[in-house]
Amino acid sequence: MIKYQLKCGSGCSFEGWFRSSGDFDAQAAGASLECPLCGSTDVARAIMAPSIVSGSASRSQEKLSAIREAMAEAARRARDYVEKNFDYVGEKFPEEARKIHYGEVAERPIYGEANREEVKELVEEGVSIAPLPSAPGAPTVKKKLN
């Protein structure tokens, strides 16, 4: 995991965790990143200084707590955005994702359910997918497939 200091076009500053620098680049190119403070999708890496540990343990705990809260809020915002703007396809997610990937149906944003084996197969086929973050305590609202 890589932690980047990020900034949005509105001037907000926040942290983001990514599997690799390529993961950040892919999300940034696909406009998948959103500022957890203002919702801007104009997100870029900020200049970062090396992390130096100093201060008391209580300050470290406070900072860690603030980071956890910010991450939970960002996850909630991401999930809310997907639930409001994507079509919920339920257990048909692997089938629908393939149809979109292979051009059998019009491209549209979807979300749904898939088990590990289905996810592995989609990734091996080159289907672009991403896990939907869970937001603690947030109920999932599912749209019906038309």
The H or E element that residue 59 is part of is: helix 57-85
pLDDT at 119 over 70: yes
pLDDT at 20 over 90: no
Nearest to 17 by CA among 31, 30, 5: 5
Buried/exposed 113-125: b ≥16 CB within 10 Å, e otherwise: ebeeebbeebeee
Give the residue extent of every domain in the chain: 1-48, 55-146
Where is pLDDT greater, at 27 or 110? 110
pLDDT in tens, 50-100: 666 566 667 778 888 889 888 888 888 899 999 999 999 999 999 999 999
For the whole model, what pTM was predicted? 0.51
How much is the pLDDT for 41? 87
